[in-house]
Chain A
Amino acid sequence: MNKLFSAVIAAALTVGVISMVGSDRVASADGFNTGSLRGVVKDKASNEASIGATVVATSPALQGEQVVIADENGAYYITSLPPGSYTLTVYYNDATFSRSNVLVQVGKEAVVNFAIDGSAGKGETIAISGNAPIVDQGSTKVGTTITSDYTNNVPSLRTFGEVMGSAAGAQSDRYGVSFSGSTSAENTYVVEGLNTTDTGFGVLSSNLPNEFVQETEVITGGYNAEFGRAIGAIVNVVTKSGSNEFHGSVFGHLQPNALTADARTILREGTAIDRVLNQDYRYDLGAELGGPIIKDKLWFHVGFTPTVIKQTTTRIISRNIDKLDNATGLPVAGGDGIPDADPSTGFTTREELARRGIPENFKTYYFTAKLTGAISSNHQWQISGFGNPESDTQLVATIRDPNTAQLHVDKGAYDISGKWTSKFNDGRTQFDAVAGFHNGYNNQTPIDARSDVAAIRYNYSRSLYDFADLEGPAVAGCQDGGMNDPYPGIVNCPVQDYTDRGLGFLESRTNNRISAVMSLTQRVRAAGQHVFKIGMDAELSSYNSARRYTGGAFLVRTENDTTDPMNPLAGQFTLSQYLKYDPMGAVPCGLDANGDGVGDAKCSVIPRLDANTNDRSIAAYVQDQWQILPNLTINAGLRWEQQIGYVAQFLQNKVAADTGETIPEIGYELNNLIAPRIGFIYDPTQEGKSKLFGHWGRFYENIPMDMNVRSFGGETTRSTVVGVNSVGDPNNSCVLDHGAMNLTDQVLGCAPGTTKMLGGTISYVAPGMQGQYTEEMIFGGEYEILPDLTVGANYIHRTLPVVIEDMSTDGGANYFIGNPSVNYDGEANKLDQKAAMTSNETLKALYQSRASQLRAVKFFDPPTRNYDALQLTAKKRPTHNSLLQASYTYSRAKGNYPGLFSTETNQLDPNITSQYDLPDLMPNRFGPSGLDRPHNLKIDGFYQWNLKDVGVIITGMSFRAQSGLPHNTLAAHPVYGLDESYLLPRGALYRSPATEQLDVHLSYGYALNRTTRLEGFVDIFNVLNAQDEIDTDERYTDQTSLPIVGGDAADLAHAKLTDDNLRQTGTIITPNKNFGRTSVRQTPLTGQLGFRLTF
């Protein structure tokens, strides 16, 4: 441990120890699993503090009871309360005062004040009516809490991962739910106090059905130093526990095909294959049961829910029509040689020839098991195990051999966590600890041997009839030429990028994490009340990856060149294979330090690339919740983090074949990540019914381990072009095409032409690289305008000052990892000095090369991601009878860096995407981000209609309205290929229209006895069956063309093509006919039937 870390720990421990010795108050600690209460007990008549009043909290969610004594100000504090409905009882002067329906939520502190009648008689119990305020007075956190009342009665999908998007401003993105302008890969998911975030990519890994969840707290910002490793949101999930009575439920849900509307076909120009995805059914049947093993001492809760989803992608083959003269629109014999166009849609008119369904199956087995124990009211523990193993048959793609279009995937997670809470010194000091293990996995395997061969993609438009041997009779009507060709002037069934044979890239991976979290909390009185909390956590993570191309290679075939009729050239194959460093190998690879045009090391081709990698993350923090006045609290904290990413084990301490350097064990090390937080909470009402608050904080990212595998895992690929000579001239040395016997083997046997190497041993890391972090400022207010109804307004400003990405400053010859736009001149000078000191010419060249690269980093555009949001919220206290949760968010997300995945290309390679690879990739990247939805309205609620003896009817609804996304105008980049050149500024040309969705819920419940209720319900999602555009095709052209910096549509008409030799031409680029066309629509109307037997 370094000195700074030691200092932070020492300071924190000192504060803690002093506090333990000198304090006289009860500790408060809102952990990941609990909430807290505080308040003041005063005499109603005199308004004097009721010193020594005994406050007792009881709840079905609580083992035993929690008892505290009001201090000399009449104040009391009760912490570590499991979420639930509580009854607070105050004993004072022989009288008893009771207040029920006190809502405790995870991570929140409610204020419940008592104004008691000091003249009440002995033995009298006075019930205080009304509900306690629901405004969280303990923190500046913003977000939402999702309870079972919400998930049972508001039309919701089935798991916490599918309902967390109900938070204000949240929206779906390609890999999950995005919060506050960040991508979903930047969230942290904590279940039962255990970090269950996927170690590889930062996405959701462990998921559970709503019936197993007690509460989900979605914290979208404003959190103190005890939370970290996220620059998005923290999703904190608490599963159900047992109680002193046996309770449980049996439940089932069914989404039958009969209640699902047909999805609209998404038409595409230039392909004979369309697709439409429809869900056949989705059902689950589960049960959960909790109860006492020993009352008030040991509880259990278990649950199991198998879930099955079947959906079918219908693959529709259609043929172009040529009956009309497109100029006149009139029929013409034999057509005009141009496919007819439908003037209403602009698409080519086509006639369907055949359709074929390709099924997909998803089977998930959710389970949970939990023991909750109390040695005493001061020492409690919990052990929890849960998981979501899943076995799928998935569709790979539709524009490929339909006989090998499926893939088998086993994925999911298993988790186990243990928690311990102890209170000492009459409860003044509290110790919390959580330890656990997360195991995630994702194994992709071919369905059968037919698809476990090399894949070949035909990278150009050709007739689908070329693949008649695979497609069968369905494409009989596609044949061009001959007697049966109805439209001889056109290609009947064009198809672009058809893929044949194998599946291509596959990965099997395990992503594990061992976590330990500890904290010590102490309340101190000094110029008010302080709640000091110190803590630390450690995570040891792993990402073990086995990657391969089916058949050991992936092939791409280009079009035949027939421009010279006397000497037509067969197309070329580009062959991608994995390599490993091998002194006995025959393939030159690695860096070319000696400048002879080939790598200086030796490699051999391998069928599979294995990399087992590790990561160590440590954090410590100290924070203080300083209650200056009963209605004014200052929250301040300081968090220290360190992350070390290790090189793949098989490479550690080896001598790099290319650089001659000894490969270190550590790939990168981020030290001294200091994240300060400060905030205030002010309650003008002094009754817990309102708050004004503000918060500023810095939040560091925990780098997902994809970087370890890809940048420090020895990933090396070779791209070989066959069908050309050694200098790249096309020739006919590999005259093969679809239909050739043993095509794959024959291509692999062709004489290699030009080769290109990508990757190497490990990536160079810029010295002094800083961690990636977000800074956030929040101001807001919340007020309980009516009992149980609060309204609020927040302003959120988030920036991303420092980014970690891989870069190249020498045109792509070498890559390194660092902070784009940072001035590394000092480090470059050190490298130059190092070069001057060595007599090893290879190392000298290496150091000089690195110095040169570092000096150019400052020329990159500074990374920018600004998120500004104004949120208006209305929340009604959730009860069994009703709920209202509404929010409107006006936000703008702008910048040139969308986050850990590219919202345009969907590349999910956190911190090593292509976004900063070259300086000339940067133009036009600033603008509204791919997550910029200015308007976002959410209204959720339900109401219970009590028909007394007849039963209960519950009506619920969920309404969403949101702006459409801005879209880009993309072309191919000379080096990086498709969609990497922003022809016009990001998001400048077009925004999809706004979308709305209304879901409804109707249930009927009948009480079988006092504790048992049977309920049947129906949910209709997307009642209006709106299937509006969600996304569009942003590829303006597949040709190479550079950005028109700051340009507009008028300039676009003049955009010039860069030709095959990558030289300037005066030719205007050819637009993609699908540009701007809808590519994704809303999910159609879906009905869900369900039942729930609760007892």
Chain B
Amino acid sequence: MLDYRSTVAASAILAGALLVGCAEPDEPTDLRRDGPPNITAVTVMSDLETASDPDPIGIGQIVETATYCRVGDEKRPGIVGLPDIRVVEVCPAKLADPAPGEGVAEAAPPVWFVRIVFDKLLDPSIEELVPDVDANNQPTGKLKGTFKNTQPVVLTCNGADVPYDGYYVPNGNRSSWPLGPALFIQPLDPTKVPTESSCTVSIKDNVHNKAQQSVPAEQRSFRFKIGPMVFRFSDPDPSDGIDGAITRDPKTPVDFFWTAPLQEGTPAGPEPGAVALSTIDPAQIKIFSGPNVGVGPGTPDGNADTTVCNGGGTAVDPSLVRAYLAGPDVGTTELILRLDLKGGTPAMATAWAPNTTYRITFTPAAKVKTRQGGAEAGFPADFKLCFHTTE
């Protein structure tokens, strides 16, 4: 029979095996189990397309940039897969490295937000759940989260408080997109925050984990910047055809999209037509034109005159050029500079002459101003748009 020592040894082996079997591993995808809630990263929405387009085509443009990465923390986000079959590196692979843009990561106006990522789940009472409503303010039957009353952070830009709302996202971890768990902070009116502002988001005491532990004091405040006003794209876009092949209804102006609301010109208000002129000097907008070629039976509109596209054509009188705001709608038309040739007296009946080829370029002095404050923005130096109008 087994003697006493053998029995003890066998029991020890058995107990060891049981312990191995019962141990809960700390998986790389797990959150941290103990201690106060640490902030592993703070990101800002930095993607221009998503920032400006509430309903973007495709799913790719959802990138956020870290303005803070907790140094030495293995639970901070690293390489993360995006839902569109891409990966991004949020924080450097080397844990000793801070975020490349620490404190100065630029949030893309006008629809920017801040995401504060934690290594633990928070007490979910930091957000309230309220009925969700649709665009017509009708209940959708769903709930949504809000910080309207709990206000877990202080958000300031250039020293001024920025009203915000947001919600708590318990979902996510360091390797999934969007990152989480996180506080999602979104200004109520981002177009009132000047571009290129220096902003700070500061955590309040009411943010704590389920064990009621608060965020450590040294992790309470994070800085970032609002990006400058920049040109995004035009409609039509030059990439659609630089040889003038783009056709345009003569009644349709050309639009230029920006990342911040445009400041109205001086004097503001209705100029010829019910539009608000922009601050851009029409003389800095260079437009050349020439009749379409090949107009005849079967091709009543003709084709583009490529010589116009290649530097030829007749310069259009700057007094005819009209640059104005597309409209006052927050987040959409206020971001669009609209261009046509209805600036004369009397104004042309259409935005462009029919059956005509146009080339549009801008001088370096062609600048637009942002209404919310911040530096002027210009057009890309090599910008050239060539199109021809129909009949």
Contacts and interface: CB of A to CB of B under 8 A. Distances in A.
Interface of A: 682, 684, 692, 727-729, 777, 779, 795, 797, 799, 809-813, 856, 859-862, 864, 866-868, 892, 894, 896, 918-920, 922-924, 926, 974-975, 983, 1041-1047, 1050-1051, 1053-1056, 1058, 1061-1068, 1070
Contact of B170 (A866, A892, A1047): A1047
A923 B145 contact: no
A926 B28 CA distance: 11
Interface in B171-187: 171-173, 175-178, 180-181, 184
Contact of A868 (B10, B17, B50): B17
B167 interface: yes
Nearest to B135: A563
A1044 B121 contact: yes
Given A1067-B132, A1068-B144, A1054 B10 contact: no
Contact of B171 (A799, A868, A1044): A1044
Contacts of B115: 1064
Given A797-B17, A1043-B172, A1054-B127, A919 B83 contact: no
B178 A1064 contact: yes
Given A920-B175, A1066-B145, A684 B1 contact: yes
B302 interface: no
B59 interface: yes
Secondary structure type dominating chain A contacts: loop
**Which of A809, A896, A920 has the most B CB atoms < 10 Å from its CB?**
A920
A892 B21 contact: yes
A860 B28 contact: yes
A1064 B169 contact: yes
Interface string B86-118: 110000000000000000000000000001000
B125 to A, nearest CB: 9
B30 interface: yes
Contacts of A692: 2
Interface in B10-32: 10, 13-14, 17-18, 20-22, 24-25, 27-31
Nearest to A861: B27
| 7 interchain residue pairs of minimum CB distance | A868-B21, A974-B83, A920-B176, A1066-B167, A1042-B171, A811-B81, A1068-B143
B35 to A, nearest CB: 14
A920 B80 contact: yes
Contacts of A924: 29
B240 to A, nearest CB: 13
Contacts of B85: 810-813, 975
Nearest to B10: A779
Interface centre among B83, B143, B181 (most CB of A within 10 A): B83
B22 A868 contact: yes
A182 to B, nearest CB: 15
B124 A1054 contact: yes
B245 interface: no
B129 A1051 contact: no
Given A1053-B124, A1062-B59, A923 B175 contact: yes
Given A777-B17, A811-B86, A918 B56 contact: no
Of the listed residues B81, B129, B171, B184, the one surrounded by the most CB atoms of chain A closer than 10 A to its CB is: B171
Nearest to A858: B28
What bracket does the count of chain B residues touching chain A fall in? 35 or more
Contacts of B166: 1066
Contacts of A1050: 124
A1056 B166 CA distance: 12
B83 A1062 contact: yes
A929 B109 CA distance: 47
B87 to A, nearest CB: 5
Given A859-B78, A1045-B172, A1068-B142, 20 more contacts: A692-B2, A727-B58, A811-B82, A862-B25, A868-B21, A919-B81, A920-B80, A920-B176, A923-B175, A1042-B173, A1047-B121, A1050-B124, A1051-B121, A1054-B170, A1055-B170, A1056-B167, A1062-B84, A1064-B115, A1066-B146, A1068-B129
A811 B62 contact: no
Contacts of A1042: 171-173, 176, 178, 180
Contact of A926 (B22, B25, B59, B180): B25
B168 interface: yes
Contacts of B180: 1042
Nearest to B24: A926
B21 A1045 contact: no
Contacts of A809: 87
B58 A728 contact: yes
A797 B173 contact: no
A1043 B2 CA distance: 50
A255 to B, nearest CB: 42
A505 B181 CA distance: 40
Contact of B145 (A811, A974, A1068): A1068
Nearest to A1056: B169
B129 A1053 contact: yes
Contacts of A867: 21
Contacts of A779: 10, 13-14
Contacts of A894: 21
A661 to B, nearest CB: 22
B8 interface: no
A218 B205 CA distance: 61
Nearest to B113: A1064
B316 to A, nearest CB: 33
Contacts of A812: 81, 85
Contacts of B59: 1061-1062
A729 B57 contact: yes
Contacts of A919: 29, 81, 175
A568 to B, nearest CB: 17
A926 B27 contact: yes
A558 B202 CA distance: 44
A861 B176 CA distance: 13
A861 B26 CA distance: 9
A727 B57 contact: yes
A682 B7 CA distance: 14
Contacts of B21: 797, 866-868, 892, 894
Contacts of B173: 920, 923, 1042-1043, 1045
A926 B25 CA distance: 8
Interface string B303-338: 000000000000000000000000000000000000
Contacts of A926: 24-25, 27, 30
Contacts of B167: 1056, 1066
Given A811-B82, A920-B176, A1068-B145, A1054 B168 contact: yes
A815 to B, nearest CB: 11
Contacts of A1068: 129, 132, 142-145
Nearest to A1044: B170
28 contacts: A684-B1, A779-B13, A779-B14, A795-B18, A797-B20, A813-B85, A861-B29, A868-B21, A892-B21, A920-B173, A920-B177, A922-B28, A922-B175, A923-B27, A923-B29, A924-B29, A926-B25, A975-B85, A1044-B181, A1045-B31, A1046-B33, A1050-B124, A1054-B124, A1054-B168, A1062-B84, A1065-B144, A1066-B184, A1068-B145
Contacts of A860: 28
A1056 B144 CA distance: 8
Interface string B26-59: 0111110100000000000000001000011111
B79 interface: yes
A821 B162 CA distance: 44
Contact of B28 (A684, A859, A892, A1043): A859
B171 A1056 contact: yes
A892 to B, nearest CB: 7
A1061 B2 CA distance: 68
B171 A1043 contact: yes
A919 B2 CA distance: 49
Residue in A777, A809, A1042 whose Cβ sees the most chain B Cβ within 10 Å: A1042
A1055 B144 contact: no
B81 A1041 contact: no
